[in-house]
Amino acid sequence: MKSLYTESVQRALEMLLPLGIFLVVLSAGYALRGYLLARLSRWAQTNDFRTGDVILSAIRTPFLLLCIMLGVYAALQFSNLPKALVGKADMGLSILAVFAVAMVAANILTGITRIRAERIESVLPVTSLTENVIRIVIFGVAVLIVLNGLGISIAPILATLGVGGLAVALALKDTLSNFFAGFHIVATKQIRVGDYLKLSSQEEGYVNDISWRATKIRTLSGNLILVPNAKLTELIVTNYTLPEKDMAVQVGLGVHYKSDLAKVERVTCEVAAEVMREVPGGVPTFSPFIRYHTFGESGIDLTVVMRVETFVDQFLIKHEFIKRLHDRFAGEGIVIPNPIRALNYDQEKMG
């Protein structure tokens, strides 16, 4: 009876020992995680908050998963499971650990690259295309490490991929065309995320993203236009953000033939300069000017030239300028003529 009791206690201990080791390792890992995250958070607050935030968000969940996997690994070493099963479990945990580290590295690298690209004029602007390439490269290296750990030779796989690459390229001709066209768009930096474009096909809007297949353009009405990258490289594109964001705005109008043109020029430029200073989106340092250009049917036509900070600012600037100029012309006695058509009855009778 005593022998049976001892044997039962021994079996219970054998079962509880791996569980205890798992809990101890998990607790130690959780404590270490909290300590490292706290230190990293303090470093981020005193040095580079955004970079620290990227690293914190990247390692918070994967680090906990690594602690769990380490606890399972340690528990397996003290279990009574067959060695073959333990070996397979260890191999599975190693594979998961490699991919967890790869996920952390990919998240950190893409986040830091995005931050650096916002601070400096980077060689390769960051879009979803470049972020996906970074992830593909990192996970590709992880796959090669896993295959090498499993004892699988990489050379035959690479050779097979090389032979099958031609067939894949032919089958995915359009997809690869858009992929490399997207790289060309990103690398040349002639079209960037945030630029305002107008295409020769009449679509226009802000560039929202450049993905592996299409460039996403958000219109002023809030709709999303998807333009295949290969198609975009074939279109005539007007980029209203390059080489500078600010741009000239022209407003046409006419005045009566009996108007004092010098006075019209002075009053118009004063109103335009006032709009430049007071209305958001105007360029205060720019001096507006006018140019008379046509003896029209109803009066003398002229063009007012102002400047705005971005493409969409022109709508508010024109709106305010027309309102203020109309009121100012009324106060100054300057007439904006209505369309007039004169009929010569004597000439018609002679005909």
Of residues 306 and 67, more confidence is placed in: 306
Which H helix or E strand runs over 68? Answer: helix 49-77
Q: What is the tens place of the pLDDT at every residue in 185-198? A: 877 778 888 888 88
Mean of pLDDT values over 335-348: 69
* Strand 224-228 versus strand 237-239 pairing type: unpaired
Prediction pTM value: 0.57
Q: What is the tens place of the pLDDT at every residue in 68-103? A: 777 777 777 767 767 777 677 777 777 777 888 888
Q: Can you tell me the distance from the alpha carbon of 82 to that of 61, in angstroms, rounded to the nearest whole number?
A: 31
Q: Can you tell me the distance from the alpha carbon of 226 to that of 228, in angstroms, rounded to the nearest whole number?
A: 6
- Ordered by where they begin, the domains of the chain are 2-152 (no CATH), 189-239 (2.30.30.60), 247-332 (3.30.70.100)
Percent of the chain whose pLDDT exceeds 90: 19
Distances (CA, A) of 294 to 19, 197, 298, 346: 92, 31, 11, 28
Q: What share of the chain is helix, strand, coil (3-state, %, to 5)?
A: 60, 15, 25
Mean of pLDDT values over 306-329: 92
Mean of pLDDT values over 237-263: 89
Three-state SS for 123-159 is CCCCCHHHHHHHHHHHHHHHHHHHHHHCCCCHHHHHH
pLDDT band at 2 (very low <50, low <70, confident <90, very high): very low
Is the confidence at residue 327, as pLDDT, over 70? yes
Q: What is the tens place of the pLDDT at every residue in 170-188? A: 555 677 777 778 878 877 7
